[in-house]
Chains A and B, each alone.
Chain A
Amino acid sequence: MDAFVLQVLNGLDKGGSYALIALGLTLIFGTLGVVNFAHGALFMLGAFCAVTLKKILTISKQVKDESITFFDAFKEVPYLELWFGETGTAIIDYAVPLSILLAIPVMLLIGLAMERGLIRFFYKRTHAEQILVTFGLAIVLQEIVKAFFGANPVPMPPPELLTGSADIGAAIGLGDSVIYPWWRLTYLLFAGIIIAAVFSFLQFTTFGMVVRAGMQDRETVGLLGINIERRFTIVFGIAAVVSGLAGVMYTPIVPPDYHLGMDFLVLSFVVVVVGGMGSLGGAVTAGFLLGILQSFASMNEVKEILPGIDQIIIFLVAVVILLVRPRGLMGRKGVMES
């Protein structure tokens, strides 16, 4: 039972990150019709927003360690701590959550620049060409990050308050081995909030209504005299922000490196396809579903019966879904089925 509860939590947690990335991806596909292979790179750039902020916050006064003569070894004290004492330490401690404030404008700008500068020239081109150009962009972005930050992962601890684990077992009357890291619970909550925010934005605002209309029938909306292009540009920016934020909050779980985006790329496409191309609800559902399936497939009991199943479960699900229900779990009939 304990193990079961824990694996469900693991699955939801994984699902949260899958859903956030897939959400942006499917939003872009649903509105702009673009297959964006640089979407993983946006996730990675988000993570490096956090790294950058942390670097800025911890700019340090360097005191040379005189005991080492043949290279410069420093004892470092961040200026923030020198100037503000404990307040400074606390600010540095909250570098990751604070990065959200930095990541929103930065990712929005990156998203808008990407769409205006490159993606918009590819609306009428084939999917293959879209894939190639965005893949090229992804490589360029990750190589630039590598040039600045190196190839080694950068540790990004969560705030002191949220390190350690919550004793869920005691709370819900299970054994004492049902504990779960606070930060992962935070991530789950955060994913829920972002997903809810995106949905209510699309559901309850005029802007969202127009965008949804545009997803249904771009031409008619255009004929009504609405500048759907401009709105779609903003949608791209929003998608970039969503995956960027997912990246920021993910850094304490997986220390980011320049290759983070590529690691998520294939997976996020599978999630989108399983959920149904262009379906927002589908992306979220599929994200959580695949997360949970992956967790359960990794259990020793399962692996004993089917060795290696944890390595292929995601793809197996994709194959089965595509064969049995090609439009995905919640995809609209006719989308991409030609």
Chain B
Amino acid sequence: MITATPRKDLLLMGIFTLAVLTMPIWLAPIGASYPDLLQRFAIFGIFAIGFNILFGLTGYLSFGHAAFLGVGSYTAVWSFKLLSMSVVPAVIFGVITSGLFAVVIGYISLRRSGIYFSILTLAFAQMSYNLAYSVLTPITNGETGLQLSLNDPRALDSLVGVTPTSGIPPTNFFGIEMSGYSGFYFCAILMIIGFYISMRIFRSPFGMMLRAVKSNSNRMSYTGLNMRPYTLTAFVISGMYAGLAGSLMAVTDPLAGAERMQWTASGEVVLMTILGGVGTLIGPVIGAGVIKYFENIFSAINENVLHGIFDFLPEILQDGAVAVLSLFVGEGWHLTLGMLFMLIVVFLPGGMVEGFTRIYSRIRNKNNKNNGEAGSVGSAEVQPGE
């Protein structure tokens, strides 16, 4: 559990893959098994995994990652418009452009650390957002968002003689339409690959170096090591993850809006990561899932639905239960989310992964006692997972 071995990693990888690919099945009972939400789970999973490579390993808290998400989306939509409806160039260009943006912003921002770094990234992201919303409208289509149109050139497509028969052609991966479940599996497979790469980074000497930066950057610099290249690499990698997520948003839904770059969107990925468990492999994915679940499912529970749920109660009790609960669901879903953040940070600083770990070790302790074993393996010190 606590020490990572190649065998355990392989096991983790296998379980993760299986769990992700079977999401449509085991998420069905909680009403989350429909293509759009599944796609979002995978896409924001990627976003959070990438963010965690920077924040979890180096401790650098970026408040501007949404900018890369936005850049990825815009690039992908432009690729659909100008080149081809195939998702391959869209994703590749999305990742490259956001990577380039990350090099520039990272190079400047990483000259500072701590909260100053956060403010720098925030400043860059807000500038991108403000400009994309207004002055850059010829490129971004401002508030309305960049959309496809029937008259787009699609140079590569028309080169090979593909012309739309009716309406705007769908995005596709070698002929497979990227909407619905096929879109989800496309995103899910990329997430699994992203997860694998993230795991390799965590286990590599490079990852070790990043963690050293986090634990004591002063000592690192005293040893005469220049940390900047390492942190910049981490920053760019996580920027590219964000770009990938952004281009996938455009792949599953070919539209790119400026609000994707707003600071609240950057804040969201921070929340996902901390909620799930910073610096753990699986935590960010869980955090992303929980927040998207809240946003999409909790917000849709209205009083009508609540009355349906409490139908079995006598009328007075029913009205009371509905009145209380409707503060927390439907239009009150922000309240629930805010309280969840507070509870998690107060009681489970390691995020939900720490919660699972605690429960796990408690169960194991009990089993150990029942078996009369004297040993207390892993019970004394529970480290946050990973």
Q: A residues engaging B (CB < 8 A)?
A: 35, 118, 121, 125-129, 131-133, 135-140, 143-144, 147, 266, 269-270, 273, 277, 307-308, 311-312, 315-316, 318-319, 322-323, 326, 336-338
Contacts and interface: CB of A to CB of B under 8 A. Distances in A.
Contact of A311 (B131, B270, B332, B337): B131
A140 B130 contact: no
B342 A133 contact: yes
B115 A139 contact: no
Contacts of B349: 125, 129
Contact of B274 (A128, A137, A312): A128
B341 A132 contact: yes
B124 interface: yes
Interface in B204-224: 217-218
Interface string B102-139: 00000010011111100110111011001100111000
B338 A138 contact: yes
10 contacts: A127-B114, A132-B270, A136-B339, A140-B335, A140-B339, A143-B338, A273-B119, A319-B124, A322-B119, A338-B113
Contacts of B332: 143, 147
Contacts of B115: 35, 127, 273, 277, 336
Contacts, number: 119
B124 to A, nearest CB: 7
B66 interface: no
A61 B137 CA distance: 52
A132 B274 contact: yes
Interface string B260-278: 0001000100110010001
B346 interface: yes
Contact of A307 (B135, B218, B338, B345): B135
B307 interface: no
Contact of B334 (A118, A133, A143, A266): A143
B335 A128 contact: no
B359 interface: no
Contacts of A125: 349
B193 interface: no
Contacts of B114: 127, 336-338
Contacts of B162: none
Nearest to B217: A338
B105 to A, nearest CB: 10
B218 A269 contact: no
A318 B263 CA distance: 15
Contacts of B136: 308
A113 to B, nearest CB: 14
A68 to B, nearest CB: 27
Contacts of A323: 108, 111-112
Interface of B: 55, 59, 61, 108, 111-116, 119-120, 122-124, 126-127, 130-131, 134-136, 217-218, 263, 267, 270-271, 274, 278, 327, 332, 334-335, 337-342, 345-346, 349
Contacts of A322: 112, 116, 119-120
Nearest to A265: B263
A319 to B, nearest CB: 5
Contacts of A127: 61, 114-115
Contacts of B270: 128, 131-132
Contact of B127 (A128, A138, A147, A315): A315
Contacts of A126: 59
B340 A318 contact: no
Contacts of A336: 114-116
A318 B123 CA distance: 7
Contacts of A337: 113-114, 116
B249 to A, nearest CB: 24
Nearest to A125: B349
A37 to B, nearest CB: 9
Nearest to B117: A322
A32 B120 CA distance: 23
A276 to B, nearest CB: 11
B119 A318 contact: yes
B124 A135 contact: no
A140 B342 contact: yes
Given A127-B114, A315-B127, 14 more contacts: A118-B342, A128-B274, A136-B338, A136-B340, A136-B341, A136-B342, A143-B335, A147-B335, A270-B119, A273-B116, A308-B134, A316-B123, A319-B108, A323-B112
B345 A147 contact: no
A128 B61 contact: yes
Contacts of B274: 128-129, 132
Contacts of A273: 115-116, 119
A312 B124 CA distance: 9
